[in-house]
Amino acid sequence: MKLAKRVSALTPSSTLAITAKAKELKAAGHDVIGLGAGEPDFNTPEHIIEAAEAAMKEGHTKYTPAGGLATLKEAIIKKFEQDQHIQYAANQVIVCSGAKHALYTLFQVLLDEGDEVIIPTPYWVSYPEQVKLAEGTPVYVEGKEQNHFKITPEQLESSITERTKAVIINSPSNPTGVIYSAGELKALGEVCLKHDVLIVSDEIYEKLVYDGATHTSIAELSPELKEQTIIINGVSKSHSMTGWRIGYAAGNVDIIKAMTNLASHSTSNPTSIAQYGTIAAYEGSQEPVEMMRTAFEERLTIIYKKLVQLPGFSCVKPQGAFYLFPNVSEAVKMTGFSTVDDWVEAILEEEKVALVPGSGFGAPDNVRLSYATSLDLVEKAIERIEQFMNRHM
């Protein structure tokens, strides 16, 4: 069967692919350490699980409104008031089946063929694919390593054309863990306001910030920037709820309405039970969120020191999320490999450590390591990488 053009160049997500390969090797009896994970290694907090169980028993097992339960939207609106000090009405919020689905739906309603979306590199793997699936054109702007992988207002402005519809800002970032300051966001926001470019602000790692760093949403910086921004967020990373598939978008009424109409013909609604769990996630104790954040911070402090001591590794210190994104171009050369992809494959084969090559994130000199796995395992993985380096140098 000949498939549609729109999927002919579609590749599976590189992060999911490496995780699957590591799982396969593990199932075959190998002692694999997978550092590809994009999800917290903690179980969902108990009170959330209990709320979902209760919802099932109470019969909340039916369709919900396409854009999400009114009570969940209220909880999300309250969260925005508390955390960002911004107000949204219920018709400015849509609950989707994960933040990924919120982004997918957004690009579907936003883009016509050839409309451009500016994507700073390194980027989360799904942004370009989602833009292309909506017949849009990704326009890459290099977040230079020496500028801590952040783009500048000048770079942003010079990449804007007649066809520019939106720019994606992901802070804290996957894969770099870097955070834009309020001042940096304001400067980028001014360029977007000047050229009427929609800001898609992916804030899924909002709660995972370290060393006293703080998260600022570009939407909270002024009423104009709030109008210009669609915030994407969800509970996958903050509350360790990746499998529940609840994320949301907030912003312009017309965009949210179009997204809701599209959802009504695609998913009908996000899973009812998961929505009840999410209400508990936002209305219940936030202690588990802080407990997980503290655990990630401890790991980062220990692992970062060890990682930068590896020969040929250099790494911008992350301030958020749960990834390290070292530049390994020197390490690759020192061990006689010609590409990072080959080097990553050899490490998986010889040392049974799964890293994600940076090529999938638009940064071919880097690799991504997730520390959303126990400290023991990450430390062991670093020892194995060191062994690999020593053997090949």
Chain residues that interact with ligand PLP, rule: CB under 6 A: 38, 98-100, 124, 170, 174, 202, 204, 234, 236, 242, 247
C-alpha 293/C-alpha 238 separation (Å) is: 8
C-alpha 134/C-alpha 33 separation (Å) is: 36
DSSP 164-227: EEEEEEESSPTTT-----HHHHHHHHHHHHHTTPEEEEE-TTTT-B-TT-----GGGS-HHHHH
Closest CB to ligand PLP among 124 and 343?
Answer: 124
Q: Tell me the residue nearest to ligand PLP as measured from the CB.
A: 98
C-alpha 30/C-alpha 142 separation (Å) is: 38
196: left (phi over 0), alpha (psi -120 to 50) or beta: left
Tokens representing 142 are 């290099």
Closest CB to ligand PLP among 36 and 189?
Answer: 36
Peptide bond into 172 cis (omega under 30): yes
Give the shortest CB-374-to-ligand PLP separation in angstroms.
20
Tokens representing 266 are 């695609």
Give the shortest CB-100-to-ligand PLP separation in angstroms.
3
Closest CB to ligand PLP among 14 and 329?
Answer: 14
Closest CB to ligand PLP among 38 and 128?
Answer: 38
Give the shortest CB-244-to-ligand PLP separation in angstroms.
9
Closest CB to ligand PLP among 202 and 220?
Answer: 202
Give the shortest CB-272-to-ligand PLP separation in angstroms.
17
- In the chain, DSSP assigns E strands to 33-34, 93-96, 116-121, 137-142, 164-170, 198-202, 229-234, 247-250, 323-324, 353-354, 356-357, 367-370
Closest CB to ligand PLP among 38 and 143?
Answer: 38
Give the shortest CB-180-to-ligand PLP separation in angstroms.
14
137: burial class by Cβ within 10 Å (0-12, 13-18, 19+)?
middle
Closest CB to ligand PLP among 100 and 150?
Answer: 100
Closest CB to ligand PLP among 319 and 329?
Answer: 319
Give the shortest CB-234-to-ligand PLP separation in angstroms.
4
Closest CA to 263 of 24, 76, 96, 86: 96
Q: Which residues pair with 229 in a beta bridge?
A: 199
Q: Write down the H helix ranges in 309-364.
A: 329-334, 340-351
C-alpha 276/C-alpha 58 separation (Å) is: 11
Contact 331, 310 (CB under 8 A): yes
